[in-house]
Amino acid sequence: MAVTLYLRSDQHTINTITAYKLLITNSSSIGNIADSDSYGIPSANTSYHEISDVDIVHSDGSITAVGSGIRAQNTRTVAGTGEQNANWSCPETSMLVTDAIRIRVYTRMESTPSLSANTYFITEQLGWTKLKATTWTFYKWTEFAAQLIDPPHDVWQFGTKIQFGNSAPNNSRITNIDFESYIDVGLRIKSSGGIVTIGAQTLVEDEHKLRIRKGGTTYGIPLITPGGADDSGIRIYDGSSVKALPKI
């Protein structure tokens, strides 16, 4: 199931990290990331970039980057304002149910890298066990301004802004975030390491070759690639390769 997460203007502390909220509902007030400075005559490649990074934050506050480099970017080469969007291909990524997602949003000038402002947004502990490989779309309300403030000396003032936390056009958000989450239906398997709780899913899909029925309800048990954070250590052959059962 894909969800949309909104960049909110209020804050909370999750997994030791204090940041603006990143939730499935928006806030009612407006926040912004802004910076400005003055420079000499701009070069031909002067432009504004809005960039986002995506991380997993674990319960102890440690960080795992999802992908590498610049993940999603909007650009303005002339002064302007309004909503922009950019896509990023999220790779399949294992998660623990206590993990949260954090994004960093920042601005910079191509010809003046020192002009930069950034802030963080973080979800709640999501209860997810995997980010699915999907294309996220980042929608953000952005502004780039350039003004000649000292004509005799060719001094310009540049300003950048990202606005968020309210209804359109300020509802900066990320769409098509798809995930998996497991529930406990009472299935236990004894292994050499002890008793393992096997995770199941309520939404049964064709890919669920292994299923369990309990209390009149059929649950799907995913067969996952061994070695991930949700690997139970229990192996099963699916007809073509060895898979693992997921643990909670």
Distance CA 74, CA 97 (A): 32
Distance CA 108, CA 116 (A): 4
Q: Which residues of the chain have pLDDT under 70?
A: 1, 37-50, 67-72, 108-116, 203-205
Predicted local confidence at residue 94, as pLDDT: 85
Predicted local confidence at residue 45, as pLDDT: 44
Alpha carbon of 212 to those of 126, 222, 224: distances in Å? 25, 11, 16
Residue 39 has phi, psi (to 5 degrees) of -145, 170
Domain ranges of the chain: 2-180, 183-246
pTM beyond cutoff 0.85: no
